Structure 1
């Protein structure tokens, strides 16, 4: 275990903390209770939850080893976590040891970060950064993706590591808006770009036999709604070459695990629109404190012209207001339908830090060269051909 006196000197920390690491999935499995308690006492985002990251280790990243840094105070209480994993890659025959966040790929995890007790974020992140600096000969590249812009973790890494070893880049724009639970839904609708269309489409749907909106949140009742959700999500993206958000049996297995665990914590809402007994639209939502997180959706393409997706999204806003939510977050992506409902945006960023060896810099340069080749090919290809290539790659990825 690395102690403070062994770490790189820098600005003094506000308190003594003992920094350790969890390196096995079996130990990680037993951390749920204290992890949950820490998340509840923090400002960390929804995808830093044990209920999200532990299934990711089991279903998605079976070739990676967990390396969860922990910070405990003198009483032994957990006050900080940095949920990392170790991945071994080979670039042109050069072995590269890469550290990254748990949950970074395949499942759309925005706002990944250090989890720290509220008010101690920078101090805890500094302890972790110093440990990583002290052990920089044990890893080649640290890749932290999808942190919220303004995260204290970014500032601390710049503070602890030499400036030339830290690179920060923009990642995604995440549309969102604040809600006033006291505001009537009709008043909220007037401020959106979808009011008239929503009311007209909903009125027509309400006249159809068997029309209803179902909300499922109980852990033991998710099997059927999830099956309908996967079918509708796949159908919605089929004409575009397949979904980039949920593809493959491993990812579906992850979501079956994660939704069950989130539901056990009261953090899940699955919405289903049915007409004549058949599911025609679905929304997969996550609750985090007083925020509603719109994670994914799907709809039956045969009902596209009836705007079933639009109506169901509107109903999730109505339910969020009725439930006392103060924020609605669409997560990554600037699709037009999002800007019709919300008016604010936040940015996520990625941070890359090079370790002591040259392998990390070689890894970065190899990525840059590959990116230049791809961009050069796009520049000489007609736009229609570029889109066909994208769809072809999606279809291949869906198969494999």
Structure 2
């Protein structure tokens, strides 16, 4: 069994027919594993989602199992080290998660997917809201056993509301409305439903509308505002994000034809609304969110809306009315049965990624954090983050530049030279890279190397005053004073272009020093003429 990793939108789009076929045939598949839901949802996490796709045949053959995942990058603010966590792709919008799998291949495909997970770089694997049979769950978990890992089951119990969010009530729908009422509801509930639906059906005061293209924005706004008012005290700072996320979810679902959003009105006043995700393949209506006017008491909006929706679902041939996660008491008025989902956390014992390196897709976010550390002067954390990136990609240009700057600031010039030397191999046309390398060579007194690097800078930008000044300084140290004087003079003479006043002043000082030191290395002396006494010739 081979496992491919799908990470691009183009690959995902090409997968649709294969995915839809698997989804229709898989009895354990549910709406949150559909191509329709996930292809829309993962757009929020571009470059962070992936699909593990198992195939028994050669490349190009149909896949028999799909595991949708999402990558997250976490930071230890004390150390600067990052690790990766993997979530099921639909979390936190999806109530259920799992694997789409051809029934006849589960025994081979699911262990293959688990083995591939073990090859990936992560420190935590969140297996949240698994709606899978015991057999499939064991095939997955048993193949994630490793001495490097620990695994634990996680409860999702809301103590405040006394609600177990791993319990999922749903009711199977019979073929007609009367059968549902007789078989699924108590006599008291049945009487209430019939009375209030009669009131609704024959009323000029009360009505229910279903969102369409002309009302969708209004209706989403109505239900989310009611929901906001109810939950604002509890959700606090999370509320804006939750509203934004649900608004996107509803709009996407409406565009794909999988949203049903009825609003109950009293004349022109909205009393309440329900939002459903509709699965036409599995013939399931999934109740996602409710909002109601808590001050209105003329009619029980929740009861009326659910009764209306169940009746409509039966009329349209739906087989399941799913209340999703949470065993709230009111759900049991509608003849539900419970399904239990499971949550597990698998994590490394060390807290570091398997393979002790980052997932390559997290490089961008780690670099962003490293830069923040660097700018804040937290050089230890910045260096740790930079080096984690280079373990994944030793030729990552921006990281090499940042690390080189950091090392230079610490006066670790030998390491800075090695870093910038690697950078100019990666980015040979980078003026900044060559300039930094040249300055580090100067700091080490390696003036021949510095001069070479400055000449590279000037090949790329011949009129760069800083590089001309730097080259002049190194040439002075190399005793190439004539060329140094010529280059430094050209900086001073740049009347047509602005030169930094500090650089101009430094250049002037270097030229002055050259003039003061301009005596020849030896003094040529004329031969001394010796005065001799006059010789008188004999007979003079």
The answer to whether the superposition gives a TM-score over 0.5 is yes
Whether 1:284 and 2:267 are equivalent positions in the alignment is no
Tell me if structure 2 keeps the 8 A contact 1:56–1:254. no
1:39 to 23, 39, 46: 23
Root-mean-square deviation over aligned CA pairs: 3.1
Aligned to 1:95: 82
Note the alpha carbon deviations across 1:185-220, whole angstroms, 9 max, x for none: 54256446622333344445556534222334x678
Q: 1:232 to 1:243 in 2, by over 3 A?
A: farther
CA distance in 2, matches of 1:222, 1:286: 14
Partner residue of 1:351?
344
For residue 503 of structure 2, what is the aligned residue in structure 1? none
Which structure is higher in RCO with an 8 Å CA cutoff and minimum separation 6?
1
* 2:110–2:139 Cα contact (<8 Å) kept: yes
Which residue of the partner structure matches residue 127 of structure 1? 112
Q: How many Å separate the matches in 1 of 2:296 and 2:221?
A: 19
Rounded to whole Å, the distance in 2 between the matches of 1:344 and 1:326 is: 14
Contact kept in structure 2, 1:269 and 1:285, CA below 8 Å: yes
Per the alignment, residue 156 of structure 1 pairs with 139
TM-score of the aligned structures, taking structure 1 as reference length: 0.73
Cα distance 1:241–1:148, how it changes in 2: closer, same or farther (>3 A)?
closer
Deviates more, 1:239-248 or 1:85-94: 239-248
Give unpaired runs (5+ residues) of structure 1. Answer: 1-16, 362-400
Q: What are the residue-to-residue correspondences of 1:200-349 with 2, within 5 Å?
A: 200-205=195-200, 208-216=203-211, 222-238=216-232, 247-248=241-242, 250-263=244-257, 267-288=258-279, 289-304=282-297, 306-349=299-342
Q: Distance in 2 between matches of 1:165 and 1:239?
A: 37
Please report how far the alpha carbon of residue 38 of structure 1 lies from its aligned counterpart in structure 2 after TM superposition: 2.7
SS at match of 1:78: coil
Deviations along 1:145-202, one digit per CA (max 9) or x if unpaired, are: 0002635442023322327633233441111122211462542564466223333444
How far off its partner does 1:100 sit? 1.2
SS in 1 for 2:327: coil
Distance 1:259 1:306 in 2: 29
- What's the secondary structure of 2:346's corresponding residue? strand
In 1, Cα distance between equivalents of 2:213 and 2:30: 22
Q: Which of the two has greater strand per residue?
A: 1
SS in 1 for 2:61: coil
Residue 253 to residue 199, structure 1, CA distance change in 2 (3 Å): closer
Matched with 2:70 is: 85
Give the Cα separation in 2 of the matches to 1:356 and 1:152.
Answer: 27
Q: Are 1:22 and 1:69, in contact at CA under 8 Å, matched by a contact in 2?
A: yes
Q: Quote how far apart the aligned CAs of 1:126 are.
A: 1.3
- Residue 177 of structure 1 pairs with residue 164 of structure 2: no
Of 244-253 and 33-42, deviating more is: 244-253
**Matching residue of 1:23:** 7
Structure 1 Cα separation of the partners of residues 40 and 145 of structure 2: 35
CA distances 1:300-329 after superposition (whole Å, capped 9, x unpaired): 223245211211111111112222222221
Q: TM-score, normalised by structure 2?
A: 0.55
Taking the aligned partners of 1:357 and 1:26, their CA distance within structure 2 comes to: 37
Classify the secondary structure of the residue corresponding to 2:341.
strand
Which of 87, 92, 97 is the matching residue for 1:112? 97
1:145 aligns with 2:132: no
1:315-349 CA deviation, whole Å, 9 max, x = no partner?
11111222222222111112111112234111111
Which range moves more in the overlay, 20-29 or 122-131?
Answer: 20-29
Q: Larger % of helix: which?
A: 2
Q: How many residues align?
A: 335
Paired position in structure 2 for 1:9: none
**Cα separation, 2, equivalents of 1:244 and 1:39:** 33
1:82 Cα deviation after fit = 0.6
Aligned partner of residue 301 in structure 1, secondary structure: coil
Q: Partners of 1:40 and 1:261 in 2: how far apart?
A: 21
Check 1:246–1:121 CA distance in 2 against 1; reply closer, same or farther (3 A cut): farther
Cα distance in 2 between the residues matched to 1:241 and 1:33: 40
Alpha-carbon distance in structure 2 between the residues aligned to 1:235 and 1:208: 28
Provide closer, same or farther for how the CA distance between residues 274 and 34 of structure 1 changes in structure 2, counting only shifts above 3 A: farther
